[in-house]
Amino acid sequence: MRFEDQRKIMIEKNLISRGINDKALLKAFDKVPRENFVPDEWRQYAYQDHPLQIACKQTISQPFIIAYMMQLLEIKSDDIVLEIGTGSGYQTALLAELSKEVYTVERFSELSMSARKVLRSLNYTNIFYRIGDGTKGWDKAIPVQTEFDKIVVCAGSPDIPVSLINQLRLEGRLVIPVGNTTEQKVILLIKHEHENEIIELAPCTFVPLIGQEGWSA
């Protein structure tokens, strides 16, 4: 079966049937070739709904959890988005389809460079890359960007890093897995002027968020 056909089946079976109804998001999933972002030995499993191993002992998350977290962000076409954990670059591509600009931070240079190569081959020009501590966000990075409309974190953290909250615009949305190193819950934070709204949602399992405001290496 062609990858294009597998992609459509995945969208119907694992996204739409489980409550993913954002039309722009579904269109992005239909456009982005997930098979390009997984190692060759896993390409045949690219559209199954489970995580896949990539380099540096990291994973590419299952399509549903990516879609679930992105739908919570309510991304608009003029949004500036910060992604913590570039990984394979698959979610980065989806974010780039939906938003004005994506700023993505990855701890492992090998992953960042590999993702950059694939994303450039797909002609994305609205993505900016950083190699460093994701818990510090885009702090002191180039190009200068001090506030973001939306922030998504692709690793499990013991708490919500203060640096990320500080870089979120008022009324902006931040989605992050919070818990221990083996299991977490998806947390949605909506930033308000006086008191942030924090909503605890679905259980999940992500690799640990390593950094100054996360877990120790």
- Active-site residue, selected from the candidate residues 61, 99, 112, 114: 61
Q: Residue 156 and residue 176: Cα distance in Å, rounded?
A: 7
Among this protein's residues, is 114 annotated catalytic?
A: no
Kindly write down the DSSP assignment for every residue of the chain, as one continuous string.
--HHHHHHHHIIIIIGGGT---HHHHHHHHHS-GGGGS-GGGGGGTTSSS-EE-GGG-EEPPHHHHHHHHHHHT--TT-EEEEE--TTSHHHHHHHHHSSEEEEEES-HHHHHHHHHHHHHTT--SEEEEES-GGGTTTT-SS----EEEEEE-SBBSS--HHHHHTEEEEEEEEEEEESSS-EEEEEEE--SSS-EEEEEEEE---B-BSTTSB--
Residues designated catalytic: 61
